[in-house]
């Protein structure tokens, strides 16, 4: 399904200090196709900082993150990854369709069309609705639809279950399981217990 | 070409956004008109004096109107996370940023250009310098947007970056102001202005090539904090 699913995400000897407080040090991990890396830890333990390092927004104080044997950031990495963070990254004055079209233009087309993705996240019929008229959970589902319409192998998700209802959580879990079954990879943080049957989940506990 | 599609998608998005936030977007041009109409009232019945300082008035107002609009260039994208998504695009950030700057000019610089002839007549600017005024505005306002973008990108992560932004950007705006208003003044007296126009063209080309990179780098820094 995914053309370049032979890549792996690797972190070596990562450390991060914030305001003279060491969040983590000597951290290493490797994520292979079909695997999930779940970051656990209390508030302020550095989960988001680690995710932002993996995104390339922030430079680690020591260590490297590499994708396909090459240290990030590089072109191949950014065309293979997708990020859903605390901020939705969707424009509230635009419609659902306009937002998704922009995401598609900024990346390469993925395996689903916009219509198929909207059906999947149960937002079909909302194409021409302005985002400001959507609820928080619907906005979240829209930013998850973005994962489906663009080409990507690696999903980086910061608390993807926030403001989703029970159905939404089940939906999200099935999408994640499907992504991994197709050779995708996921790095995520979550306070919820995730239930992905049959998927290889690695856990890192930050304290 | 995919990169060009991404560029036009950004331009189109920002134009649609400007259209949906009409009142916010009309601010700079309203400011421009207001300041210029206040000058004749403040100076009184001295048409000669007004005519002499008209190039300066128009250019200073254009400069301040652009300054006023700068903060909105990256603010909303920074606040709602769109900027993160733009930075994570596989396409070069500098090109996408150039798309945003283009849209900024189309929504703030271009309207100034459109209302300027009317205001020039209002201030009694000689007819022969009208075309030069338009030419300097057409060349100069994109420079203001490009240089301004670097400043905004550096300050967008700060809570109250407004004052620092003006301190950063205003000195860089001064050469544009000097050459542009000088050209309009000279044209009024029938003198050749090729030198000033050439300098403005070269400044525009330099800004076009050199501004997007530091803007992209500064945005990456701002998102990091």
Cis peptide before A73 (omega within 30 of 0): yes
Angle between helices B130-155 and B194-210 (to 10 degrees): 30
User: Is ipTM strictly over 0.85?
Assistant: yes
Of the candidates A145, A89, A143, the one whose C-alpha atom is nearest the C-alpha of residue A113 is: A145
SS3 (DSSP) at A98: helix
Contact predicate A58/A49, CB 8 Å: yes
Confidence of residue B169 (pLDDT cuts 50, 70, 90): very high
Q: What is the residue extent of each domain of chain A?
A: 9-206
Residue that wins the pLDDT comparison between A190 and B137: B137
Residue pointed to by tokens 């490797």: A30
Burial B183-217 (b: 16+ CB within 10 A, else e): bbbbbbeeeebeebbebbeebbeebeeebbebbbb
> Whole-prediction pTM value?
0.91
Confidence of residue A6 (pLDDT cuts 50, 70, 90): low
What residues contact A78, with CB distance under 8 A and at least 6 apart? A56, B88, B89, B90
Q: Please report which residue ranges of B105-211 form alpha helices under DSSP H.
A: 110-123, 130-155, 162-188, 194-210
Residue that wins the pLDDT comparison between A191 and B66: B66
- The chain A residues in contact with chain B (CB within 8 A) are 52, 55-59, 75, 78-79, 81-83, 85-94, 98, 101-103, 105-108
Burial B125-135 (b: 16+ CB within 10 A, else e): beeebbebbbb
Closest Cβ–Cβ partner in A56, A79, A89 for B80: A89
Contact list, B22 vs chain A (CB under 8 Å) = none
pLDDT confidence of residue A190: 84
Residue B139 structure tokens: 């060349």
Write out pLDDT tens, residues A97-149: 999 999 988 888 888 888 888 988 888 888 889 998 988 888 888 988 888 89
pLDDT, chain A, mean: 86
- Chain A residue with Cα closest to B217: A57
Confidence of residue B65 (pLDDT cuts 50, 70, 90): very high
Mean pLDDT of B150-160: 90
Determine the Cα–Cα distance for residues B175 and B178; give it in Å rounded to an integer: 5
Contact list, B20 vs chain A (CB under 8 Å) = 93-94
Mean pLDDT of B27-48: 91
pLDDT confidence of residue A76: 85
Q: Do B90 and A88 touch (CB under 8 A)?
A: no
Determine the Cα–Cα distance for residues B93 and B141; give it in Å rounded to an integer: 22
- Chain A residue with Cα closest to B99: A106
Mean pLDDT of B49-76: 92
Contact list, B1 vs chain A (CB under 8 Å) = none
Identify the helix (H) or strand (E) that includes residue A174. Answer: helix A166-181
SS3 (DSSP) at A23: strand
Determine the Cα–Cα distance for residues A79 and B102; give it in Å rounded to an integer: 25
What is the greatest pairwise CA distance in chain A? 50
Look up the CATH superfamily of A9-206.
Answer: P-loop containing nucleotide triphosphate hydrolases (3.40.50.300)
pLDDT at A5 over 70: no
Of the candidates A106, A173, A174, A90, the one whose C-alpha atom is nearest the C-alpha of residue A139 is: A90
pLDDT confidence of residue A2: 46
Closest Cβ–Cβ partner in A52, A85, A105 for B5: A105
């Amino acid at each position: 399904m995914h053309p370049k699913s032979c890549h792996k995400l690797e972190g070596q000897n990562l450390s991060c200090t914030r305001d003279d407080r060491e969040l983590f040090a000597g951290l290493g991990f490797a994520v292979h196709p079909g695997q999930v890396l779940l970051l656990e830890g209390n508030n302020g333990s550095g989960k988001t900082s680690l995710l932002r390092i993996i995104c390339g927004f922030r430079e680690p104080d020591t260590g490297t993150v590499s994708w396909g044997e090459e240290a990030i950031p590089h072109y191949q990495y950014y065309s293979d990854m997708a990020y859903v963070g605390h901020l939705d990254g969707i424009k509230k004055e635009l419609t659902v369709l306009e937002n998704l079209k922009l995401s598609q233009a900024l990346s390469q087309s993925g395996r689903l069309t916009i219509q198929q993705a909207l059906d999947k996240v149960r937002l079909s019929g909302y194409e021409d609705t302005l985002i400001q008229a959507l609820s928080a959970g619907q906005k979240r589902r829209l930013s998850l639809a973005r994962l489906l319409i663009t080409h990507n192998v690696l999903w980086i998700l910061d608390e993807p279950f926030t403001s989703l209802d029970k159905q939404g959580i089940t939906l999200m879990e099935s999408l994640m399981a499907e992504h991994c079954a197709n050779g995708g990879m996921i790095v995520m943080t979550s306070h919820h217990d995730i239930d992905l049957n049959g998927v290889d989940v690695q856990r890192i506990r930050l304290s | 070409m995919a990169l060009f599609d991404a560029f036009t998608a950004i331009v189109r998005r920002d134009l649609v956004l400007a259209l949906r936030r009409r009142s916010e977007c009309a601010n700079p041009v309203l400011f421009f008109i207001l300041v210029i109409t206040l000058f004749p009232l403040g100076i009184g019945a001295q048409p000669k004096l007004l005519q002499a300082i008209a190039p300066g008035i128009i250019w200073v107002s254009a400069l301040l109107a652009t300054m006023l609009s700068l903060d909105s260039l990256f603010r909303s994208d920074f606040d709602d996370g769109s900027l993160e998504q733009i930075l994570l695009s596989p396409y070069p950030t500098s090109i996408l940023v150039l798309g945003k700057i283009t849209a900024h000019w189309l929504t703030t610089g271009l309207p100034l250009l459109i209302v300027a002839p009317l205001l020039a007549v209002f201030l009694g600017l000689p007819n022969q310098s009208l075309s030069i005024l338009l030419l300097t505005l057409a060349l100069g306002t994109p420079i203001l947007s490009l240089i301004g973008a670097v400043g905004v990108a550096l300050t967008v992560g700060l809570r109250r970056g407004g004052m620092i932004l003006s301190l950063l950007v205003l000195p860089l705006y001064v050469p544009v102001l000097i050459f542009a208003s000088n050209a309009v003044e000279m044209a009024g007296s029938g003198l050749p202005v090729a030198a000033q126009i050439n300098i403005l063209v070269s400044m525009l080309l330099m800004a076009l090539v050199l501004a997007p990179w530091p803007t992209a780098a500064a945005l990456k820094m701002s998102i990091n904090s």
